[in-house]
Amino acid sequence: MCSEKRVPTAVFVSGGGTNLQALLDAQKSGAIRHAEITLVISSSPSAYALERAKKAGVEAVTVSRKQCGSQEAFERKIQEELEAHGIGLIVLAGFLCILSADFTKRWPERILNVHPALIPSFCGKGFYGLRVHEAALEKGVKVTGATVHYVNEIPDGGRILLQKAVDVLENDTPETLQRRVMEQAEWILLPAAVEQVSAKIIEDDRE
């Protein structure tokens, strides 16, 4: 086991959790050394990501905006969970809920998101999941990719940390392109960004 200090990290999910799995695998392999995933928050009680967390022995909770009744109550419940677990870094990994400016301001440069395109292309409100890849194919781009960025009050508007390009192939469907972008970009960039940012947090705390 690594004896170095680690930043308690929460991963926000809404679906299958493939990016969560990439992070868990990177933590296990030692590629992530300065962060420790101690909490998974899902916006959906049926998300398979909850099973991935359970298998990895990571505490997981569901916070549903619908059940909370309002954005304010939803974010208050999330904040309570984060504070109860002493979280220092948040990673949005396929989290389909937009966070308000009030929430993001509490976590300046402490929230990361992975987006399945090369921002500023195919990003912003309404661009998520397969919709991003459908738009890329419709536009006829030859290169797409993924971006990890800080989260602020503007959807996909925070400072870019890492990007990686992925070729679009002639016979691609949205599904085949989505899979290639995940394998060749998202699953590589997101763990690298988590390690980079968590190491910086620890370094800043030492100063």
Query: pLDDT tens digits, residue range 124-153?
Result: 988 988 999 999 999 999 999 999 999 999
135, part of any domain = yes
Q: Which helix (H) or strand (E) holds 60?
A: strand 59-62
Report the C-alpha gap between 198 and 203 in whole angstroms.
9
The number of domains in the chain is: 1
Name the more confident of 49 and 155: 49
Domain for residue 1, yes or no? no
Range of the domain at 138: 7-206
Could you read off the pLDDT of 16-31 as tens digits, one per residue?
999 999 999 999 999 9
Q: Would residue 74 count as lying in a domain?
A: yes
The number of CA neighbours under 13 Å toward the Cβ of 194 is 36
Is residue 154 included in any domain, yes or no? yes
Whether 2 maps to a domain, the answer reads no
Is residue 182 situated within a structural domain?
yes
Supply φ then ψ for residue 32, to 5 degrees. -105, 115
What was the pLDDT predicted at 1? 38
Residue 4: which pLDDT band, with cuts at 50, 70 and 90?
A: confident
Distance CA 41, CA 81 (A): 9
CB-based contacts of 175: which residues, under 8 Å, 6+ apart?
130, 133
pLDDT at 3 over 60: no
Catalytic residue among 34, 115, 133, 149: 115
Query: Catalytic: 115?
Result: yes
Kindly give, in sequence order, each residue whose CB lies less than 8 Å from that of residue 2, ignoring residues fewer than 6 positions away: 30, 33
Q: What is the mean pLDDT of residues 105-112?
A: 96
Rounded Cα distance between 185 and 206, Å, is: 32
